[in-house]
């Protein structure tokens, strides 16, 4: 029987990394889906297989999958498995955009609290954008 558990490769997750383990799984899967490395209909590993690969509990993977399912990014079919939804890419991009917006708000607030004026904050934003191009 072929081992189809490695549909994709996830980076290792760590308790030392920022955020809970399940959130690290959620974030990586959203990234894979939003960047079209995981296409609609692609099967995801079972809870048990992914937990084994990532060295985490099945409960951690289950929680991550449940969150992604609530957001409409993946879906489960009893007896068949878990798959990327038809709207997974769009929903994943929307979730990433929402997160980016929140991070920008936080960054702008930090910059304002540091005493930067609006024009200086905009200059800083342009500088950061150039670094990421």
Q: What is the pLDDT of residues 32-75, one digit of tens each?
A: 998 889 999 999 999 999 999 999 999 999 999 999 999 999 99
- Helix pair 118-131, 88-113: axis angle to 10 deg: 130
Q: For the chain, what's the residue count?
A: 133
pLDDT of amino acid 3 = 44
Separation of alpha carbons 76 and 83, rounded Å: 6
The confidence band for 81, taking pLDDT boundaries of 50, 70 and 90, is very high
Q: Average pLDDT of 6-10?
A: 60
């Amino acid at each position: 029987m072929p081992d189809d558990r490695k549909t994709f490769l996830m980076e290792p997750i760590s308790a030392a990394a920022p955020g809970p383990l399940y959130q690290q799984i959620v974030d990586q899967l959203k990234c894979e889906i939003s960047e079209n490395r995981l296409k609609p209909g692609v099967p995801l590993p079972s809870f048990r297989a992914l937990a084994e690969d990532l060295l985490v509990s099945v409960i951690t993977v289950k929680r991550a999958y449940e969150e992604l399912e609530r957001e409409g990014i993946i879906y489960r079919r009893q007896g068949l498995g878990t798959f990327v939804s038809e709207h997974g890419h769009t929903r994943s991009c929307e979730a990433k955009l929402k997160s980016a917006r929140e991070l920008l708000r936080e960054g702008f607030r930090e910059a304002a609290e540091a005493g930067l004026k609006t024009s200086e904050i905009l200059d800083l934003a342009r500088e950061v954008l150039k670094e990421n191009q």
